[in-house]
């Protein structure tokens, strides 16, 4: 069950220069959309970040190679099969998929970026893909964002998408994006699949910086279970279709406006991934402040977010604050003065000066823990450094979903 995630996508605004096509190839399920292609207008710039998992999937390897030699014209995504852990055959299949789409689109194979999501260790059903991929060429439309959001889902219970518009000078700039992710979510690049497009005109170098800035404040700040996928990828596309001068100065107000608007879209999509975490019943914000460095704050936030004992306590609505305290203590940061640590559940202080707060009552803790959205605030000291993560609880359904994943 998703935590306060709308059942329906909001209005998904088309982005000039981007058209989308979808199809059902029957990769894992019959009659379910599992192929998505993005067609990008000439002049579109693409920035991407990928998984840091050493066992990266074949499509990740191919996408990286293609991005290094040319500007992409097409993105091809399949769900239901990760094409990971598939060796040389998986690499050849990823290339072959690109070649089929490139052939019908009339472009070079290097201009197609492949992406896959689903079960690891199984070869792509190339017989099905070879027949279905050509069907995409006649289905491209700028209004297919809703279909694409559904087509990239795996264990997601709801599609995830958002559009925003921002005035930069006299020009209205559109930003629209979709994401998928529910499990295997941990801060380490992008932690899922995400595709965000804008009609802004921005230089390639600044687009990559913008992507990194936005990802570091969104998709790199979420954790469901502490696992990272072999297939994680996040792509930011800028079509340059808006009638504006190219943004080429990182210090300009135009760049900062665009960067902040894109980051807003990323944050909403990232939070949607957590709200739809496998089996999640609670959305948890973890704020850590006062550490000797931002890295220390982040390390504490990571440790609390990944702790199975903390996460199961949240599922049980049990204000077992000792689990949070123990996670802080084992985070491994230097110069931690436990006598200065304070911990809050929302506005309820449960720990002060490293021990149970004198005014704390179990009744007050129970009230907060029964909420479906909770803020954990951890104060380590009085420095200005801080970090924020978004996480969720562990429920019975998380075990069931992952135990039955291949069935």
Chain segment 21-44, per-residue pLDDT in tens? 999 999 998 889 999 999 999 999
Mean pLDDT to the nearest integer, 290-305? 95
| CA–CA separation, 145 and 8 (whole Å) | 13
| CA–CA separation, 134 and 140 (whole Å) | 12
Nearest to 88 by CA among 80, 96, 98: 96
3-state helix, strand, coil in the chain (%, to 5): 35, 25, 40
Q: Which CATH architecture has domain 283-403?
A: Roll (3.10)
pLDDT at 185 over 80: no
- Give the range among 98-107, 155-164, 189-198, 235-244 with minimum mean pLDDT: 189-198
Contact status, residue 62 vs residue 170, Cβ threshold 8 Å: no
CA distances from 347 to 85, 297, 314, 407 (A): 46, 20, 16, 44
Question: What is the reported pLDDT for 188?
Answer: 53
Contact status, residue 360 vs residue 279, Cβ threshold 8 Å: no
Strands of the sheet containing 18-23, edge to edge, are 18-23, 35-40, 74-81, 112-119
pLDDT band at 368 (very low <50, low <70, confident <90, very high): very high
Question: What is the reported pLDDT for 399?
Answer: 75
Catalytic residue numbers, as ranges: 191
Mean pLDDT to the nearest integer, 347-358? 97
Q: Considering only the top CATH level, what class is 18-275?
A: alpha beta
Nearest to 370 by CA among 325, 322, 316: 316
pLDDT at 189 over 50: no
Nearest to 34 by CA among 130, 150, 176: 150
- Give the range among 78-87, 104-113, 224-233, 246-255 with minimum mean pLDDT: 224-233
List the domain boundaries for the chain: 18-275, 283-403
């Amino acid at each position: 069950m998703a935590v306060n995630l709308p059942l329906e996508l909001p209005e998904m605004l088309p982005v000039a220069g981007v058209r989308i096509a979808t199809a059902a190839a029957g990769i894992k399920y019959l009659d379910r959309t599992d192929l998505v292609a993005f067609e990008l207008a000439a002049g579109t710039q693409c920035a991407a970040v990928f998984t840091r998992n050493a066992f990266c999937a074949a499509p990740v390897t191919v996408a990286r190679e293609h991005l290094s030699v040319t500007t992409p014209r097409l993105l091809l995504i399949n769900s239901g099969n990760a094409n990971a852990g598939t060796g040389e055959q998986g690499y050849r299949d990823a290339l072959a998929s690109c070649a089929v789409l490139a052939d019908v689109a009339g472009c070079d194979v290097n201009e197609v970026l492949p992406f896959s999501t689903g079960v690891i260790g199984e070869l792509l059903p190339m017989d099905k893909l070879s027949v279905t991929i050509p069907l995409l060429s006649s289905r491209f439309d700028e209004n297919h964002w809703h279909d694409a959001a559904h087509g990239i889902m795996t264990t997601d219970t709801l599609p995830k998408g958002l559009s925003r518009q921002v005035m930069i000078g006299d020009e209205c700039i559109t930003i629209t994006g979709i994401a998928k992710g529910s499990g295997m979510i941990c801060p380490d690049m992008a932690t899922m699949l995400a595709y965000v497009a804008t009609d802004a005109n921005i230089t390639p170098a600044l687009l990559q910086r913008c992507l990194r800035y936005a990802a570091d404040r969104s998709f790199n700040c979420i954790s469901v279970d502490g696992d990272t996928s072999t297939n994680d990828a996040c792509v930011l596309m800028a079509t340059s279709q808006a009638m504006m001068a190219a943004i080429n100065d990182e210090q300009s107000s135009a760049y900062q406006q665009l960067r902040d608007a894109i980051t807003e879209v990323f944050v909403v999509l990232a939070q949607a991934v957590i709200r739809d975490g496998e089996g999640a019943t609670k959305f948890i914000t973890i704020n850590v402040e006062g550490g000797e460095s931002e890295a220390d704050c982040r390390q504490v936030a990571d440790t609390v977010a990944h702790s199975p004992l903390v996460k199961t306590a949240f599922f049980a609505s049990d204000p077992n604050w000792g689990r949070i305290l123990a996670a802080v203590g084992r985070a491994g940061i230097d110069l931690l003065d436990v006598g200065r640590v304070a911990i809050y559940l929302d506005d309820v202080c449960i720990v002060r000066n490293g021990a149970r707060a004198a005014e704390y009552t179990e009744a007050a803790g129970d009230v907060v823990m029964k909420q479906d959205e909770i803020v954990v605030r951890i104060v380590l000291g009085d420095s200005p450094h801080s970090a924020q993560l978004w996480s969720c609880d562990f429920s019975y359904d998380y075990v069931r979903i992952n135990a039955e994943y291949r069935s």
